[in-house]
Amino acid sequence: MPRSYIRTELRRLVAQRADYSCEYCLIAEENTPSCQVDHIISVKHGGDSTAENLCYACLFCNLQKGTDLGSINWQNGELVRFFNPRRDLWREHFQLDGAIIRSTTDIGEVTARILDFNDEDRTLERQVLIENNRYPSRAAKNKIG
């Protein structure tokens, strides 16, 4: 079986554990085209398909992330890893400012930039959801703290 294969029960566990919301941008699955199981460390880089290396991600975050692990901090040229939903606390790296997701650390900055959290359409979408009390999701409110 390929290392990228994820059993049905494991997919279910990941979705439930995330309370059916994207663990990066905090949008609920019901408010976005789809959520997918993401390998935090991609299979290409040796990540495995265990619960500890998986998270739930919306289609937009997952597509932008691809097999990347991080990006460059252009202020100092250093390589910075992405936010890891299994190890990091959302509120220690990001803040919600209306519909904008602001980063408060280098990890937050590269994650928000590469996953394109504040793309115009996505921000507008969050704005509408906020007005309808559907963002952040109930589960995500705990993460924001």
Q: Which residues bind Zn ion (CB under 5 A)?
A: 22, 24-25, 58, 61
Closer Cβ to Zn ion, 34 or 50, answer by number: 34
Cis peptide leading into residue 136 (ω within 30°): yes
Residue 1: CB minimum distance to Zn ion, A:
28
Closer Cβ to Zn ion, 47 or 115, answer by number: 115
Residue 106: CB minimum distance to Zn ion, A:
20
Residue 77: CB minimum distance to Zn ion, A:
28
Closer Cβ to Zn ion, 22 or 140, answer by number: 22
